[in-house]
Amino acid sequence: MGNMGWFSVGFRMICWLCFVVCVGGIGANWGTQTSHPIPPNTVVQMLKNNGFQKVKLFDADEGILNALKRSGLEVMVGIPNDMLAVLAASTKAAQNWVSKNVSEYINDGVNIRYVAVGNEPFLQTYNGSFLQTTFPALQNVQGALTKAGLNSQVKVTIPLNADVYESSSGRPSDGDFRSDIRDLMLAIVKFLSDNAAPFTVNIYPFISLYSDPNFPVDYAFFEGNSSPVIDGTTSYTNMFDANHDTLIWALKKNGYGNLPVIVGEIGWPTDGDMNANPQYAQRFNQGFMNHILMGQGTPMRPGPVDAYLFSLIDEDEKSIQPGNFERHWGIFTYDGLPKYQLNLGTTKTGGLVRALNVQYLDKKWCVLKPSVNLDDSRIAPSVSYACANADCTSLGYNTSCGNLDAQGNISYAFNSFYQKNDQDAVACDFSNLATITEKDPTTGTCRFEIMIVADSGMSWNLPRSPICSHTPCFMEINEYLLRCKRLNKMVTMRISFKIE
């Protein structure tokens, strides 16, 4: 290799190091799959009060982007998977999306730094649904950014699950991209490299523990108590480092060892599974923060780690198909309360700062009438309906409400539905099985929630109908209203995307 070759390599290395230093710091994923969102301005202030430097969004929500104006927070704005086909098929659609959801907001003071094209589109559980559209959408969005003169300021990326790479031996040095998508991944990686854009990966040790009962628990954490994975002269004592470096090896052996990497999602849930609890979540997230605050990085990629915690706030409308824990990833509860002590290294107190000025509904709850016989045939369908249309994921074995008796379980389900429907009296009927009380049923670790006042336009009410006092009628009317509500949210989301 000649002198110019050495100069070129050295220059690229300096550029990469500059990139890492410039984008260092901790960020948060801000999801919106919730029935009663905290007002965006309140969340933005909470992000700033907790010292977050950046935020990752899953869609171009108009209210959130407006709240981020002149906030100083770096923003990664997302494009949902269901929009990939449109953007892949039309350069004009991509240009319109960038104009309305990037250019306009940058001009108004939103510090957008990345566009995330899709979200884990190559998950094996998607059965290849987005294999044909993700890369063309990425190319068209990049072309739109270039045409808008933003290609040096805003970078494209694709948040990918760690299942896009693998190691046949379990050692990071044997890492390579998944065989069924290897050619596609290499094309994407080359495109990212050519456009000075980062590779974004989501790493979840919790999922490994959840999926494999034989997974060594200590290996998911950062104390170094686990039996190490030996890879040549390197010992890996935690899954994050090993998983991360499996990716770095996959990039390196294919000629892209210096490509910047962002950890797009990393975290631990607090409920909905025997291993999802505040103690483990605090242990993991604090261990991760300590790990990256030291600036040591991983064996294959020393230095600062660019990462976004998953997630900021619990989301009670997330799909629970992967597991009940899906609604409990937040480091804050649905109403902005810290779940546990977590030192991000960014606040004077060394702990999390709650959301300010959150407004609650009245202090009242919906519970099963004490006089009702637990063998009443109306109970089972009523509980099923309540849980199907609200959130009962805190009920179950070794969960926060796992120690409730039968009456407590029923009351929890009724109250969840009642609160989600803004404490409407009709939502606490259940064929005359339930009653409203002002005595808090909360017990031990099981919190019976009081819903917050929803952000404007997001709340809905049930009709007060004297003709609907029996269970089938009650359920039919409410199911209709819930469908209307979901349709309204879909319309609102489509308007906010502005792709026409």
**Under 8 Å CB-to-CB from 374, ≥6 apart: which residues?**
406, 407, 410
Does the bond joining 129 to the residue before it have cis omega, within 30 degrees of 0? no
pLDDT for 475 equals 52
Per-residue pLDDT reduced to its tens digit, 406-434: 999 999 999 999 999 999 999 999 999 99
Task: Report which of 339, 334, 238, 351 is spatially closest to residue 287, judged by C-alpha positions.
Answer: 238
What DSSP element (H or E) covers 189? helix 182-194
Catalytic residues: 120, 265
pLDDT of residue 175: 98
Where in the chain are the domains? 26-57+158-332, 365-437
Q: Among 461, 321, 443, which Cα is nearest to 393's?
A: 321
pLDDT at residue 425, rounded to an integer: 97
Q: What is the pLDDT at residue 319?
A: 96
Q: Considering the domain 26-57+158-332, what is its CATH architecture?
A: Alpha-Beta Barrel (3.20)
Return the amino acid letter for 393: T
Q: What is the pLDDT of residues 2-21, one digit of tens each?
A: 443 443 444 344 443 443 33
Q: What is the pLDDT of residue 316?
A: 98
> Which residues in the chain land under pLDDT 70?
1-24, 455-500
**What's the pTM?**
0.88
> pLDDT at position 347, please?
84
Per-residue model confidence (pLDDT) at position 478: 54
Contact 93, 141 (CB under 8 A): no
